[in-house]
Structure 1
């Protein structure tokens, strides 16, 4: 099966899975496979009851409910990707932009990266890393490592490691994962939206997504945009 067919099959599967479990599926699902990443961008994804909660500024309740349901769906998603597309995913991350009715699911494949992480693959890479370092230092501490890849003309993924401070590690140890994740989502998204990335990248950012692996002290940031001057 060629890459385009695989992406189409995954798109159909994810749309049906979310519709069956959330009561309403996304209006559009965009799948991109660039080893070692698979990104699944959801548009028009907000159930009627969720819309009521968002309008009442109760977004945390929506996030909590979605996080619980996604934890139940992750094994199914991994198994289906393996069986139908031959894609072995080590871990899955996800986040939502409720105001934009959008979402992102990111899979990290169990393969060697096709892109050499030591090579530049877009012009503004170092400046982006400098800005990420500044924002992360403001929110917690300077990352021990930053990597980024321009996956396609709409998607930039940034990976950070070694970012948690002592109080966060203690909250993780005590089991306050959900509370910490929601707090960090809101704080870091606010900082990212106030940052200079649109100026640096010379394009309009449509969506920003974040997720964390608390056990590995790792985080992923995904920018969705319509590029103008980005060069790979």
Structure 2
């Protein structure tokens, strides 16, 4: 099956799956397949009940209820991705931007050679992106042991951080307190990313959305930037 057809099939399947389980599906689903990555960007995805909860400042309740639902949906999504791409999904990340009514999934296949090849590809501002990611990470916990970023297409940049947890975070993980840790890190890291005005200048593009998620067992994190090159960032670097 051609890549474009796979992307359409996945978008249709995920839209229906979310609609069946959340009561309302996303208005649009954008899927990008570029081995070893499958990325999914969801827009206008907030059910009527969730809108009420958000208006009552119950964002944490919406997050936790979605986390519960996703535990049952992730195996189904991974199985369908494997069916279409013949790729066993090794890692799966998701995150929501409830204020923007958006969300993302990032699936990674165990294709280390392809990942290494993509990681060597350059794009404008790549080194500066890594520096800013290190800066944000240091404010939240510590500088990652490794940062890899890939520009999958004109609108999608994936950043992978490994070796990011400090001693107290690793102790929370050993104690099984990952949900508490996830909630705290969501608030801190996403706030720092949102406040990072330098990133748009580096990329010379508007950042429409940013997401971050973690794999606590692997001591790893994925950040996804959805950018709009037609709306340029403030060119602070040239000043």
TM-score (norm 2): 0.92
- Give the distance between the partners of 2:131 and 2:205, measured in 1 at CA: 18
Alpha carbons 2:26, 2:44 under 8 Å: kept: yes
CA contact (8 A) 1:117 1:147 kept: no
Task: Give yes or no for the alignment of 1:199 onto 2:201.
Answer: yes
Contact 1:53 1:62 in 2 (8 A): yes
The offset of 1:188, in angstroms, is 0.6
Counterpart CA distance in 2 for 1:216 and 1:20 is: 32
Structure 2 counterpart of 1:86: 86
**Distance apart, 1:68 and its partner CA:** 1.1
Distance 2:36 2:84 in 1: 18
Aligned positions of 1:168-179 closer than 5 A: 168-179=169-180
Written as runs of structure 1 = structure 2, the 5 A alignment for 1:59-74 is: 59-74=59-74
List runs of 5+ in structure 2 lacking aligned partners: 234-239
Structure 1 residue 158 and structure 2 residue 159: aligned?
A: yes
- Measure, in 1, the Cα distance between the counterparts of 2:67 and 2:154: 29
2:172 is equivalent to residue 190 of structure 1: no
Aligned to 2:30: 30
SS at match of 2:99: helix
Q: Secondary structure at the match of 1:100?
A: coil
1:78-125 CA-partner distances (Å, limit 9, x unpaired): 111222342321121000000111000010012231662552420211
How many correspondences in the alignment? 230
Deviating 4+ runs (over 4 angstroms): none
The Cα shift of 1:32 comes to 0.1
The reply to whether residue 96 of structure 1 matches residue 128 of structure 2 is no
Q: In the TM superposition, what is the alpha-carbon distance from 1:219 to its structure 2 partner?
A: 0.3
RMSD of aligned Cα (Å):
1.5
Structure 1: stretches of 5+ with no match in the other structure: none
Shift of 1:46: 0.3
